[in-house]
Amino acid sequence: MSKTQNKLSIIPLGGVGEIGKNMTVYTYGNDIIVIDAGLKFPEEEMLGIDIVIPDITYLIENKSKVRGVFLTHGHEDHIGGLPYLLKSLNVPVFGTRLTLGLVEGKLREHGLLETAKLNPITNQSVIKSGEFTVSVFQNNHSIPDTVGFAIDTPEGVVVHTGDFKFDFTPVDGQKADFFKLAQLGEKGVLALLSDSTNAERPGYTMSERVVGQTINDCFATAEGRVIIATFSSNLHRIQQIIAAAEKYGRNLAIVGRSMVNNITVAHELGYIRINPGTLVELDEINKLPANRIAILSTGSQGEPMSALTRMARATHRKVEVMPGDTVIIASSPIPGNEKYISRTIDQLFRIGANVIYQSVSGVHVSGHASQEELKLMLSLVRPKYFVPVHGEYRMLKRHSELAIATGVDPENIFIVDIGDSIEFQGGKGRLGPKYTAGNVLIDGLGVGDVGNIVLRDRKLLSQDGILVVVVTLSKQDGTILSGPDIISRGFVYVRESEELLEEANKIVMQTLAKLVSENVNEWSSLKNGVRDALGRYLYEQTRRRPMILPIIMEV
């Protein structure tokens, strides 16, 4: 292939038309680089599914071309799919020190740490990767060491923001690199791919320092113990909580597996400062007076098995919430978790705790840019083409309106779905072919072995349960040797519905007898006959449609 025929293709395999499982592929000639490898959490109808990752058929089919995976930051929706990708494709991974520190824990769990090729980068790195030259730039987000990438290609520079906000007073002092972004804009940027999560929110997102101030106020006025729950990855907030504990002379105990893990990693790598003597073991806290105690915990989403929920329900092994405790829930509910978190808050109030939470006070700010910041990014970078990413369709749409407002030609905006490609050749962009993309469902150890039929069955089973009808027939003459036995699960209380089930039994008997007398002896016909007759009867009696599973044994 001659160079002039080459083109740049950008293919989002995840993160557009959805929140989560972010992954974007850049292809030029024989070189492919991948930005991020995230997971998303299952939708409500994906019953029993643990996590969802992108379909990487395209990468597997082009295995020999893939030069590396570049990670913007250490959140699950950007790194959670990495172990599954590396199992198919052991390519070099590039990430900042904290990001790689968090990746290492994951790879260890999957037995991949020994073989993985991890390459630390800084916010000043420039990495040559085939035809691509990737320059890193500093971002702000709700986890430290978050970066974006300026990808220099033969077709021009593409700026890929990753998740970001502009925090003018960041907790770790690492401001976004306005100069680098402005310089890129001045030199000319072919395309911008930018975070759309908060594209529906007017104004600016507040600085993380605002939360620090609220937390300080809470520590200053609390008379009893302070228990504070937040996202275990929000190390800026965790740093501010540690500082507040130290300022007000409280010892701090840390509760919850992911909180302990993340703080350990971040502390080892120097991303968190803790004075000697601040931390105490959870076992030790009862020896201290209430006003010298602070507890930092997971469970800010009210997850039923989390530390905070167990402390609230007095099912935690070591601590329970008591009247007089101040409990701070420093987070906002992720859509779908509203009910869990409300229940936890109710339970805490019932105990007599003083609860400080989102609806009534400013204990959380977002990690994503609001409309004015998105316009600032667009104004710094001044791209010719614009591709809103990281968002559901309406957010991408809203973001594209912001781009138009800042001067991007509406013709040069692509709102795409996963698997769509945007091709650039001779400075011109257009929609290219559609590639394989989708949701790969992970259930336990199974990757992709649960599909629509299994999910449909789980849905049916969850609504009205199941009736199993077993009968043993004679091989000779089809007479019933044993049964029919009817066993139900998830349908009705058996004890209270004996009559119903006895009648159901009669109907199965009659149906079988009738079919056999008519010389119907194919199993499938017998089973369908039983399923229809029994289904009809049960629906008439109960207006429910349990799954009916007829089983015929032959002796």
Footprint of a copy of itself on this chain (CB under 8 A)?
17, 43-44, 47-48, 200, 335-336, 338-339, 342, 345-347, 349-350, 355, 359-360, 392-394, 397-398, 443-446, 449-451, 453-455, 457-466, 468, 470, 472, 481-483, 485, 487, 489-493, 496-497, 541-544, 547, 549, 551, 553-555
- E-strand ranges in 22-78 read 23-28, 31-35, 51-54, 66-70
Which of helix, strand or coil describes residue 43?
A: coil
* Residue 290 or 468 with smaller CB distance to a copy of itself: 468
* Residue 305 or 453 with smaller CB distance to a copy of itself: 453
366 annotated among ligand-binding-site residues = yes
* Residue 71 or 442 with smaller CB distance to a copy of itself: 442
* Least CB distance to a copy of itself at residue 372 (A): 15
* Residue 268 or 457 with smaller CB distance to a copy of itself: 457
State phi, psi for 142 to the nearest 5 degrees.
-80, 20
* Least CB distance to a copy of itself at residue 394 (A): 5
* Residue 63 or 544 with smaller CB distance to a copy of itself: 544
Point out the residues that are catalytic. Answer: 195, 368
Q: What angle do CA 549, 550, 555 make, to 5 degrees?
A: 140
* Least CB distance to a copy of itself at residue 500 (A): 9
* Least CB distance to a copy of itself at residue 392 (A): 5
141 annotated among ligand-binding-site residues = yes
* CB neighbours of residue 175 within 10 Å: 14
State phi, psi for 326 to the nearest 5 degrees.
-100, 120
Amino acid (one-letter) located at 310: R
Map tokens 């336990």 to a residue.
444
CB 418 within 8 A of CB 6: no
* Least CB distance to a copy of itself at residue 360 (A): 6
Give the span between the Cα atoms of 213 and 245, in whole angstroms.
13
365 annotated among ligand-binding-site residues = yes
* Least CB distance to a copy of itself at residue 197 (A): 13
- DSSP β-bridge partners for residue 486: 469
48 annotated among ligand-binding-site residues = yes
Per-residue CA distances from 104 to 35, 112, 234 (Å): 18, 9, 18
Give the span between the Cα atoms of 537 and 508, in whole angstroms.
10
C-alpha closest to that of 49 among 440, 437, 334: 440
How would you classify the pairing of strands 93-96 and 118-121?
A: parallel
- E-strand ranges in 377-445 read 383-389, 422-425, 428-431, 439-443
* Least CB distance to a copy of itself at residue 298 (A): 21
Give the span between the Cα atoms of 375 and 204, in whole angstroms.
10
* Least CB distance to a copy of itself at residue 543 (A): 3
78 annotated among ligand-binding-site residues = yes
31 annotated among ligand-binding-site residues = no
Number of residues assigned to the chain? 555
77 annotated among ligand-binding-site residues = yes
399 annotated among ligand-binding-site residues = no
Torsion of CA 241, 242, 247, 253, to 10 degrees: 100
Give the span between the Cα atoms of 147 and 136, in whole angstroms.
6
Look up residue 442 and give its two tokens. Answer: 């992970």
Per-residue CA distances from 342 to 228, 297, 454 (Å): 16, 17, 32
73 annotated among ligand-binding-site residues = yes
Question: What is the SS3 assignment for 203-244?
Answer: CCCCCHHHHHHHHHHHHHHCCCCEEEEECCCCHHHHHHHHHH
Q: What angle do CA 71, 72, 76 make, to 5 degrees?
A: 75
Give the span between the Cα atoms of 135 and 243, in whole angstroms.
34
* Residue 222 or 235 with smaller CB distance to a copy of itself: 222
* Residue 64 or 359 with smaller CB distance to a copy of itself: 359
Give the span between the Cα atoms of 417 and 288, in whole angstroms.
56
Give the span between the Cα atoms of 294 and 253, in whole angstroms.
6
Helices and strands (H, E) in the chain, number of each type: 15, 25
* Residue 129 or 197 with smaller CB distance to a copy of itself: 197
Give the span between the Cα atoms of 228 and 266, in whole angstroms.
19
* Least CB distance to a copy of itself at residue 476 (A): 13
Q: Which residue ranges make up the annotated binding site for substrate?
A: 232-234, 364-368
Q: Which residue ranges make up the annotated binding site for Ca(2+)?
A: 48, 50, 443
Q: Which residue ranges make up the annotated binding site?
A: 48, 50, 73, 75, 77-78, 141, 163, 232-234, 364-368, 390, 443
Q: Which residue ranges make up the annotated binding site for Zn(2+)?
A: 73, 75, 77-78, 141, 163, 390
